[in-house]
């Protein structure tokens, strides 16, 4: 097998929401509540939701920048590759990277749609959330069949509305949803509460994969504000480990064939995690009353119900047998700073080449397409149109040269660089958050009131 013959599917990428997101997906009576993309006096683009400024547009959309500028969060669409927010350009960047299909998470509305959960008017929140799903399914995924895997967000502040939305998006061909890895941290019942029983049943009834992205509930802790930010970046993926253990004990996994995807969590830690889970079960279940079914261990449940993914994880790929060859998928993480765009095929092939062709195919694409119930080959007219070589042949015109968008303030004479700390980064995002809280738009508030 050659690099050119590989087929690659990414189970974790991200969208920077485009200005036109709501144009075609709100009725005439609801146009007044449509969020607006605005620009402030400093040139920063921002969204206006329910009269409040909602976050920085760029977040972590640094793909294609020179690496010296990775810490400079883009503040406008012009400071990032167009593929971050424009579907036509995204397909070109996917082609240049040899990526057949991709599952995408939101940005400004939160990985699990948490922005809508903070709305005061929950009717408006539900309407806008549904409009987001329609845009995501019909435009972002629908304009190029076979290229993007639909992934819905839910109004899970209302369990009846949540079930209704699952049924609605399933009719549109969406079989994936994004959910918080720990809803109790957002003021909702824990995943072990009967409150969620209708959700588990709806997911089973409609063949829905539950994607829980790192940071969607539990957060990677900073060791201290003086710690180098590198320490936090290093541990960020495995911050999902506590949630993974929690979900492993979900009773509904014994009742339904639910599928859980640990999005952006890496795989190198999984062998020890499973070993520890089995050890803990054997040592403690007689007094804790842990129960995974007759003759079953935690690792058995994991391999039946969980999908993991990696960006660059050679240790994990040297231990596929300890994880499960059916439990591993690839992720590109475009347009975030960990993404290896546009060199994914070469790097991925080098890390997989010690494995059998059958296992390579599973990890590079087959596991994802099977779990997510997505027939990319059929939509693309056959496997021959889905390989790295076939896709890159359509992208010979795409410029992948790293670009500079203007870096940090230049050092002054005699000034030396210092380590960037957790405090530096948290202050940067705190400044954004304070803008969110202080910004009000009277015209928008009036329109919302009239609506």
Pick 14 or 219 by higher pLDDT: 14
pLDDT the model gives residue 447:
37
Distance CA 8, CA 388 (A): 7
* pTM for the model: 0.94
Domain that holds residue 309: 3-408+417-450
Q: How many domains does the chain have?
A: 1
pLDDT the model gives residue 72:
78
pLDDT at 441 over 70: no
Beta-ladder partners of 363? none
pLDDT tens-digit profile of 162-207? 999 999 999 999 999 999 999 999 999 999 999 999 999 999 999 9
Q: What are phi and psi of 330, to 5 degrees?
A: -100, 150
Distance CA 17, CA 305 (A): 31
pLDDT at 438 over 70: no
Beta-ladder partners of 213? 263
> CATH number for the domain including 89?
3.20.20.140
pLDDT band for 73, please (50, 70, 90 cuts).
confident
pLDDT the model gives residue 418:
87
pLDDT at 449 over 90: no
Of the candidates 301, 195, 214, the one whose C-alpha atom is nearest the C-alpha of residue 258 is: 301
H or E, element range at 94: helix 87-96
Lowest mean pLDDT among 41-45, 125-129, 179-183, 232-236: 41-45
Structural tokens at position 440: 């009000």
Distance CA 167, CA 206 (A): 7
pLDDT tens-digit profile of 337-348? 999 999 999 999
pLDDT at 440 over 80: no
Distance CA 447, CA 34 (A): 10
Structural tokens at position 295: 């003759």
């Amino acid at each position: 097998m050659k690099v050119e013959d590989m087929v690659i599917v990414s189970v974790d990428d991200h969208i920077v929401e485009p200005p036109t997101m709501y144009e075609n997906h709100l009725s005439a009576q609801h146009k007044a509540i449509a969020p607006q993309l605005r620009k402030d006096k400093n040139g920063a683009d921002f969204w206006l939701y329910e009269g409040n400024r909602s976050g920085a547009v760029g977040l972590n959309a640094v793909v294609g920048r020179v690496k010296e500028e990775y810490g400079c969060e883009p503040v406008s669409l012009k400071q990032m590759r167009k593929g971050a927010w424009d579907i036509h350009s995204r397909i070109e960047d996917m082609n240049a990277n040899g990526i057949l299909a991709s599952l995408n998470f939101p940005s400004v509305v939160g990985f699990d749609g948490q922005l809508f959960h903070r709305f005061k008017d929950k009717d408006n929140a539900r309407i806008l959330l549904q409009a987001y799903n329609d845009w995501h399914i019909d435009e972002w995924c629908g304009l190029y069949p076979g290229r993007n895997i639909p992934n819905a967000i839910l109004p899970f502040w209302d369990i009846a509305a949540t079930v209704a939305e699952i049924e609605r998006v399933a009719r549109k061909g969406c079989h994936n949803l994004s959910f918080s890895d720990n809803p109790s941290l957002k003021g909702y019942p824990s995943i072990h509460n009967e409150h969620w029983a209708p959700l588990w049943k709806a997911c089973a009834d409609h063949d829905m994969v539950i994607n829980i992205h790192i940071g969607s509930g539990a957060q990677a802790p900073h060791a201290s504000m003086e710690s180098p930010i590198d320490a936090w970046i290093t541990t960020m993926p495995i911050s999902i480990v506590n949630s993974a253990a929690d979900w492993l004990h979900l009773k509904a996994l014994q009742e339904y064939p639910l599928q859980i995807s640990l999005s952006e969590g890496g795989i190198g830690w999984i062998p020890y995690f499973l070993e520890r889970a089995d050890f803990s079960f054997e040592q403690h279940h007689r007094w804790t009353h842990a129960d995974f079914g007759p003759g079953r261990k935690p690792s058995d449940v994991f391999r039946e119900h969980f999908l993991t993914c990696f960006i660059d994880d050679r240790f994990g790929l040297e231990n596929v047998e300890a994880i499960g060859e059916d439990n591993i998928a690839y992720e590109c993480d475009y347009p975030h700073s960990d993404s290896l765009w546009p060199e994914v095929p070469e790097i991925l092939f080098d890390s997989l080449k010690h494995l059998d062709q059958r296992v390579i195919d599973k990890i590079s694409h087959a596991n994802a397409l099977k779990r997510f119930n997505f027939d990319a080959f059929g939509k693309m007219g056959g496997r021959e149109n889905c390989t790295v070589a076939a896709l890159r042949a359509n992208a010979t015109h795409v410029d992948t040269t790293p670009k500079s968008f203007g870096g940090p303030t230049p050092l002054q004479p005699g000034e030396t660089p210092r380590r960037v700390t957790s405090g530096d980064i948290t202050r940067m995002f705190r400044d954004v958050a304070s803008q969110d809280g202080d910004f009000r738009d009277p015209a928008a508030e009036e329109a919302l009131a009239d609506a």
